[in-house]
Structure formats: structure tokens, C-alpha cells
Amino acid sequence: MEGLNELAFVLGGVNHWITVFLIMAGLYIIVSRSNMIKKLVGLSIFQTSVYLLYVSPGKIIGGTAPIISDDFTVYSNPLPHVLILTAIVVGVATLALGLALVIRINEAYGSIEEDDVYSGEDWN
Amino acid sequence: MRGHLILRVVSKILIPFLLMFALYVQFHGDFGPGGGFQAGVIVAAAFVLYALIFGLRAMQKIISPALLEIAVPLGVLIYAGVGVYTWILGGNFLDYNMLDSHDPSHGQHLGVLLVEAGVLLTVSSTMLLIFYTFAGRGR
Amino acid sequence: MLDQLPAIIIAVPLIAAAVCALIRNETVCWLIALVVAFASFVGSATMLGQVQKYGEDISYKLGGWAPPVGIEYKVDLLAGYVLVLVSLIATAVLIYGRQSVKLEIKKNLHGWYYTMYLLCMCGLLGIVITGDAFNAFVFMEISSLSMYTLIALGKDRRAVAAAYQYLVMGTIGATMYIIGVGLLFTITGTLNMADLAMRLVPLLDTPAAIAGMAFIIVGLSLKIALFPLHLWLPNAYAFAPSAVTSFLAATATKVSIYLLMRYLYTVFGFGFSIERTPIPEVIMVLSLLAIFAGSFTALFQENIKRMLAYSSVAQIGYITLGIALANATGLTGSLVHIFNHAVMKGALFMLVGGIAMQVGTVRLSDMAGAGKAMPLTMFGFVLGGFSMIGVPGTVGFVSKWYLAMGALENGWWWIVALLMLSSLLVLVYMGRVIEVAFFRERPVDAIPLKEAPKSMIVTAWVFLLACVYLGFDTSFTVGVAEQAVNVLLGGAQ
Amino acid sequence: MEFLFNLILLLFLAAVTIGIIGVRNLFAVVVLSGAYSFLMATLLIAMDAVDVGMTEAAVGAGVSTVLLLSALHLTNTEEAPAKHSNVLPMALALLTGAVLVYGTWDLPRYGDPDTPMNSYVGDEYLERSIPETTIPNVVTSVLASYRGYDTLGETAVIFTAGIGVLMLLYGRRRKGDDDEGDGRS
């Protein structure tokens, strides 16, 4: 157990590396895909990956969830949890509004591919 | 899905438990994980399950969209109302210490309960309302 | 009462928005919105007056918790100045927009329209007044989500597509902002901006601080629509309902610029962000590109709303140019231009709203002969155009003067030359509209035109007269801006 | 043990994300994004963020999936093949990633209790929650009281989204409702 925790301490950067990968993947989906729903899924991944960025540094090895009780003395940092709860709400709110827009676009244009919607339109 | 007897029976048993669990999550949020937001989502999920099994129309007979349209702003008003009340009591906005003149920590507890109720109302009704609008769009 | 003002001007619009959603009657909701917006304006002006009088920032502890444990509201000169601007425009656009909202938006949505409008105002004011990095994000999302909805209410199907485009780019911007805040939070442990500034001092050179700064700046630049991240702006402005465009063009990007300044000057400090990083050089290049690319694209627009939108891209370039000049005069120019551009662009979009209502389209070719039929609107357009060009005696001249002076202080006369060249471009694209409206005959078969409703003309003209008045009497704009610059630069050194 | 568990979950997350990038059937994408949310929720719980994990499971895997599925029902389920080159998006993602790797390189290692973040405001909440609010779940007391104003804003965000969706999709769909589309505005 102890040894593994030591290892965790040394390799701890791994959390950040995967977080970075997820952020990159989310951004890549948003920018590269033309399908609007896929773009919104990418947007969710982009937003969700931020959760790790906040929560991982708040974790304390050997700590427990920040609910005070007599059995524990070490707790992980509660503040990032609160912030991320808010971020989750913002994420789902954005997704709902985005999907409503996509439904309207589909009704008006008959397609949810950006290539069809934006290039086929006279914007002037 | 309306013909599936097993689904109907199971969901009829399940939904009350879901709602009870939501209430547990709501009121146990001070002591364990949970709170207004989580409970609100669970309440919405229970009703969405009902709508999926018994049909949107049956669900809307129980809770009409018009009712939800009132509930959504009402939750915000409850939350902000606590703030206005603390103003009236002479404190800063959302200063729950004001709610109990003898024991501020009691006031805090009361304030948290009240605002969580507001969150529950807005979140559950908004989620359900969004589901209604999305599901009702197709027909 | 007075010491509760900071919370009042945010909480009351929020409560009013919820009340409007319950009532949903057009007249009542409009009245509530108007009263609340005006009350916010009075509150903001009072706070600005207090800050000026006592020379002390107003700090408000939400929930009674002292920062950094609780969230703090902070009104200094800069915040007060932007608060006054946003609430003033919000009030004016409510008076202006009632008729056009009735016409452009489906009847059963009118009540909710005012709900959204109030939420948007509440969000924008909340970003300005907050002293907490994460709270700014929450209010940014309130204003953004309501903006996406308001834009999508435009009559044309392109409005929905534009709103989607804005939603995607706006969300990327907001998420980048919280990534940046997250990095700063990880190394400092605090979210309060003043506390952040203090605790960042020994950490400014660490990679996390630099990366955090980069993410915050890029994220906010997306919201500001700084070239080349402006792609969402032209369509959003062009296809939103007229009243929404007037409000957004005058406030939304300005608030994001305000937040950027907060980070550059208050959190990171002038001594670091401007003097020790290549930020001014980058912003300089992008601003000049924005000014020329924006103005140049505006030349080729058939849709005059879109033309004005591209002109906004260019005008944002002027504002950020002031930051890049890295001296007090330049920054004063930029702050003054925030106000001035809001007033003149607001007025121009209001006039275009009247044109859209009467002509039925905002295409240049359909406006032939409008000068004769709608003299008040079109003369207003001429006056607004003068201000955009920067003719002496108008507000446009004041801001350009300060920008030019700031450039000369650095010995950069070529910036002055470029500024004059860009004014020439403005002359050409505004001139096109005026030429068509005044010197072309209206086709015989076209529908006869008449002047737009009084409420629209009057509000627009109040703004236009303000353009002239503030062009002569600069004691408010320049006065406050100079004091604010002193605080911003002084506080950093 | 904790660490190994985390590592496996993280690798799963990455794998699911690669799946989402590659798959073109949108139903599969939605199912994968549900799986992503569950993995994320488990990971959050493993990192002691029980409230967040619970919410992510309910919202990400529950509500979001339902919303995405109902939107798919109304639109198209197959993504069109890509027409553009992926070079620019890839470059953008790599640039962002590079800045992030640079920024996170020097951050305190995972699990350290003495970082500025864990020894400053966060610690203060843990000490003050019981005496000041009597609430043992510190996340609840911070959420609803110390930073209760953020939560009011969060409720307002939900409210905004709810009314926004209603405004966009209000009333029955009628043909020709949306397009005055003769190319003129």
C-alpha cells in the first residue's frame, strides 16, 4: 500500500496528462466535425475534462470525502467540488439550449451538418 | 412501449421509491452527499421514466406543462426570496445568520434548507419541462 | 439601503426576470423591466458617484462572508463606469425596442422576451461588479445563454444558425476562461481577484500562472470577438432582432473587454502583463488587423446590419489598440471609446431597426430614396456616420484623439497614419449607405415609406445628441476614464 | 491501490474518447458519451468528490443522454463523412495541449496535502463548517452558504436555459414557420 502511494506521488502527473488529452480531444471534435450534435458532444467532453483539472489537485492521499465525522481526520479539499458542481449545471444547461437550436436548424434547413447549413446560405 | 406489462408493473413499483430516494438525497444533503440539485435531477428522472413507459400525454395529465412553467421561476424566487428576507432583517444579501437571532449557526442551517428547496424546485421542473418540449416536438 | 446597493442592482433584475416569467403579460413585463433597468442605472450611477466622491472602492460581502471565504462584490471607478454604461443602454433599448419587439417576435413569447432581456442585463452587470473569478464565470453563462436565445429569436432562419455558431464559440471561450482560472486557483488556492493578485506576485513567472493567463486571455478574446476570433459576431448581430442587436452591440463585447482589463491590470498587474510579456505586441498586431480587415469587409456588405457588425469588429480593434499602446493616454482612449462606441453604435443599430421595420429589409439596394421618406432616420445615420469617422465635435473624434496621442507618446506616428487611413474606410462604407438613401430615386413600384415609430426615433436621437454633446463636454467620459486609468496603473506598480 | 484504480479509469476515459472521435453513428456516440460520464463519475468519487460524482452520474449519464437521444429522434442519426482536412483542428488541439502541459508540468503532484490550494481557503471551510453552520457535509455548506451566491447564479443559469429552450421550441411545429427564406432579411 505504502509503496503504491509513493509511486502515485512520483507518477502523479498522470492525472494531468490524461486531463490534457481529454481537453485536446474535446476541442478537436468541436473544431473538426461538421455534424452539430457531434460538435455538442465534443463540447461536453471539453467542459467535462475541466472537472478533472479542478478536482485532481484537491485530492489528498489518505483523505476522505469532505464530510466531517469523528472517524476521520484528513479530508480532501471541498472547494473544487463546489465549483465543479456549478460547472456541471452550466454544462447541461448549455447542452439543452444547444440541442434546442440544433432541432430548430434541422427544421429550417433539413440538415444538421454545418457544411450544408453554412455554405449553402447567402449570408449577406 | 405501452404494451409491456413487466415494464409497467416494475416502473409503478420503482417510481415511488425513486421519489423517496430523491427526498432522502434532498434532506440528507447536510449530512451525506446530496442536495437540491441532485435530488431535482432524480425527481425529473422518475417522471421521465413514467413518461417513457406510460406515454407523454399520461404524464402531462399528472403534471401539466403550464404548472411547470410556474414552478421554474418559483424556485428562483424562493432562493432569491431568502436573500430579500435577510435584507429585511437587516443583513447582507443571503446572510443566513440573520434568520435566527439567538443562534446564527441555526440560521445558517435553516437558510441552507430553504435555498436547497428552491434549487430542487427549479432544477426538477426545468429538466422535466425541457424533456416535455423535446419529446413533444416530434409529433 | 445605500450600503446594500451592489447586491440590489444584480438581485433585483434577477427577481424581476422570474416575476416576468410568471406574469407573461407584455405590457406588465415591459413596465417591470423598464422600472428595474432604470433602477439599476440609478443605483450604478449612485455608486459611481460615491466612489468618485470618497475615492474609496465599495466592497460588499455576499452572505456576510468576508473574502476570500465568501464572494465579494467590488465597485471601483472602472467597474462603476461600465455598470453605468450597461444599465443605461439597457434602459434606453427597452424604451426603444418595444414596438419592434412586438413586430418581430411571436406574440406569446413577449413576456419571456423580457425575462431573457433582464437575465442578460443581470448577467452582464454581475460580471462587471464581481470581485470573484469564478462568480464572473457563472454570470458570464447567465448572460451568454440568454443572449443565444435572444439572437435565435430573429425572424430569419439564419438567426438560429448564427445563434448556434455563437453558442459553440462562446462556450469554448467560457471553458477556456475556467481552465485558466483553474490553473491560477491550483497554485494560489483562492478565487477572489484581489487576493489572487496578491498571492500571484511571487508566482508570476511560474508556468502555471503564464499558461493560466494565456487561457484567460484567449477565452475572453473569443467573447470580445477580437480578430481573428470574431467569426461569430457578424452573423449574430446581423440576424438578431433589432432591439437585441442594439443592446448586444453596445454592451456584450464591452463587458468582456472590461473583464480582460481586470485581469491584465488588477490581477496580473501592469508591471507584469504589459511590461514583461509580449501581450501588447500581440494585441497591437491583432487590433490593427481587426481595424483593417473589419472595415474592409464592411465595404462589401449588402446587408447594412452586417456592415455595421463588421464595423464593430473594427471598433473593438480601436479599443484593444489602446491597451496595446501601454501608456496612460492610450488606455484612457480605450476606456473612453468603450463608452463612445456603445453610444454611437447603439444609435446606428437603433436607426437600422427603424429601417428594418419600415422598409421590411436591411438590404442596401432596398433603401433607395429612403432619405426623402425617412429624413429623421437618415439624417441620424449621417450624424452617426460622422461620429464613426471621427469628425471633430463628435465622440468618435475624442476617442481617436486620445488613441493618437497615446501612440505619439511612444513615437509611433505610423499608428496615427493608420488611424486616419482607417477613418477613410469608415467614410467609404458609411458613405455608400448615405449615397443610396439620398441620391437614388425610389423605384416607382416599391412600397411607400414613412418614418419609424416615435419611440424609436426619439431614443436613437437622444443617443445621437449624446454623441455630439459628449464630443464637446468630455468631463464625464474622459474625466472618469482618466481617474480609472490612474487607479489601474497606479494599483499595479 | 487508489492510484492504480485511478490510472485504469483514466485510461478507460481516454479510450472512450477516442471511440467518440472515431464513431460516425450518432447513437453509438451518445451511448459512448453516457459511458464517458459514468467513468468520469466513478473517477470523481474515487477522488473523494462524492457529491460531484453523484451529480455527474445523474446529469451526464442520465439527463444529457435523454436529451441527446430525444434530439437524435428529431434529427439525423448518421454523421456525414468529413469533407475538410483535419490538419488545422489537429494543430489547434496540439497547441492547446502544449500550453496545458507546460502549465501543469510544475504543479504539485497528485495527493499532496500541503499545496497552496489545499492549505488555504479549502482548509478553512473544513474547520469552520461545523461551528458556523452545523452542517457536516462541507460541500453542502460551501455550496449553499459560503458560496451560496454562486449557487443562486447556477439556479439562474438553469432557469435561463429552461425558458430559452421553451422560447425556441414553443408551440407546435408548423411548416414554413421558420423560413421566411427568400434570401432576404
User: What are the DSSP calls for A60-119, one per residue?
Assistant: BTT-B-SB--TT-S-B--HHHHHHHHHHHHHHHHHHHHHHHHHHHHHHHHS--BHHHHHH
* Distance from the Cα of residue C397 to its chain's centroid: 19
For residue C149, what pLDDT is reported? 95
pLDDT at residue C318, rounded to an integer? 94
ipTM rounded to 2 decimals: 0.94
What count of CB pairs under 8 Å joins A to D?
Answer: 309
What count of Cα atoms within 13 Å lies in the side-chain half-sphere of residue C202? 4
Task: Scan for cell 433589432, then name that residue.
Answer: C242
Q: Which of B72, B84, B95 sits opposite C21 (nearest CB)?
A: B72
D179 touches chain C (CB under 8 A): yes
In whole angstroms, give the CA distance from residue C244 to residue C105. Answer: 11
Rounded Cα distance, B78 and C473, in Å:
46
- Which range has the worst mean pLDDT, C198-202, C205-209, D33-37, D115-119? D115-119
User: In angstroms, rounded to a whole number, what is the distance separating the alpha carbons of residues B16 and B10?
Assistant: 11
Q: Which residue has the higher pLDDT, D123 or C84?
A: C84
Which chain A residues are within 8 Å of B130, Cβ to Cβ? 96
Does residue D61 sit in helix, strand or coil?
Answer: helix
Burial of residue D156 (CB within 10 Å: 0-12, 13-18, 19+) is buried
The pLDDT value recorded for residue C398 is 92
Is residue C206 within 8 A of residue C187, CB to CB? The reply is yes
Mutation site, A70, A89, A97, interface B, largest B CB count within 10 A: A89
Chain B and chain D share a number of CB contacts under 8 A equal to 138
Q: What is the mean pLDDT of each run of 10 residues along chain C (493 residues)?
A: 88 95 92 96 94 89 89 93 95 91 89 95 95 95 95 91 95 95 92 92 91 95 91 92 93 94 92 87 94 93 92 94 91 93 93 88 85 88 91 90 92 92 92 88 79 88 91 88 87 44
Decide if D153 contacts C142 (C-beta within 8 A).
yes
Of B75, B108, B123, which is closest to D132 when you measure between CB atoms?
B108
| List of domains in chain D | 1-79 (1.20.120.1200), 115-172 (no CATH)
Q: In b/e form, how buried is each residue of C425-444, taking b as 16+ CB within 10 angstroms?
A: bbbebbebbbebbbeeebee
* Residue-level pLDDT at D172: 54
pLDDT, tens only, B53-111: 888 889 999 999 999 999 999 999 999 999 999 999 988 999 998 888 888 888 999 99
pLDDT tier at A3 (50, 70, 90 boundaries)?
low
Note the maximum CA span of chain B.
59
Average pLDDT over residues D24-45: 93
Provide the pLDDT for residue C75.
93
Cell representation of residue A44: 461536453
Counting one residue from chain A and one from chain B, the pairs whose CB atoms sit within 8 A come to 13
**pLDDT, position D176:** 42
Whole-number pLDDT of residue C492: 41
Rg (CA), chain A: 20
Q: Do C141 and A90 touch (CB under 8 A)?
A: yes
Asked if residue D81 has pLDDT above 90, the reply is no
Instruction: Return d(Cα D52, Cα D139) in angstroms, integer.
Output: 9
Neighbours of C3 (CB within 10 A): 10
User: Does residue A124 lie within any of the structural domains?
Assistant: no
Task: Give residue A57's domain range.
Answer: 2-119
- In chain D, which among 126-185 make CB contacts under 8 A with chain A? 126, 129-130, 136-139, 142-143, 147, 150-151, 153-154, 157-158, 160-162, 164-165, 168-169, 173, 177-179, 181, 183
The reply to whether residue B73 touches residue C11, judged by beta carbons under 8 angstroms, is no
Residue A28 belongs to domain with CATH number: 1.10.287.3510
C164/A105 Cβ within 8 A: yes
pTM: 0.94
Cell numbers standing for residue C142: 447567465
Is the Cβ pair A86, D56 closer than 8 Å? Answer: no
How far apart, in whole angstroms, are the C-alpha atoms of residue C28 and residue C24? 8
Calpha distance D142→C68 (Å, rounded): 12
CA distance C432 to B130: 46
Q: Is B74 on the interface with D (CB under 8 A)?
A: no
d(CA D94, CA D15): 18
pLDDT at C244: 94
CB–CB contact A75 D126 (8 Å): yes
Concatenate the DSSP letters of all residues of B3-46 into one string.
T-HHHHHHHHHHHHHHHHHHHHHHHTTTTSS--HHHHHHHHHHH
How high is the pLDDT of residue D110? 75
Q: Would you call A18 helix, strand, or coil by DSSP?
A: helix
Interface of A with B in 50-109 (CB under 8 A): 65, 67, 85, 89, 96, 99-100, 103
B37 vs A85, A96, A100: nearest CB: A85
CA distance B99 to chain C (A): 12
Give the pLDDT band of residue A69 (cuts 50, 70, 90).
confident
Domain count, chain A: 1
C-alpha cell at C169: 464559440
- Please answer yes or no on whether B115 and D55 come within 8 Å at the CB atom: no
pLDDT of C319 reads 94
Indicate whether D179 pLDDT > 50: no
Spell out the alpha helix ranges (H) of D87-134.
87-105, 116-119, 121-133
Model confidence at D97, pLDDT cuts 50, 70, 90, reads very high
Structural domain includes residue A114 = yes
What distances in angstroms separate CA B8 from CA B1, B13, B46, B50, one per listed residue?
A: 9, 9, 13, 9
Residue from the list A30, A57, A94 with its beta carbon closest to the beta carbon of C145: A94
Angstrom distance (rounded) from CA C196 to CA C208 = 14
Distance CA B108, CA D133 (A): 5
pLDDT grade, residue B131 (50/70/90)?
A: very high
Residue D39 clears pLDDT 90, i.e. is over it: yes
Tens digits of residue pLDDT in A21-51: 999 999 999 999 889 999 999 999 999 999 9
Residues 112-141 of D with CB under 8 A from C: 115-122, 124-125, 128
Q: Label residue A110 by pLDDT band (50, 70, 90).
A: confident
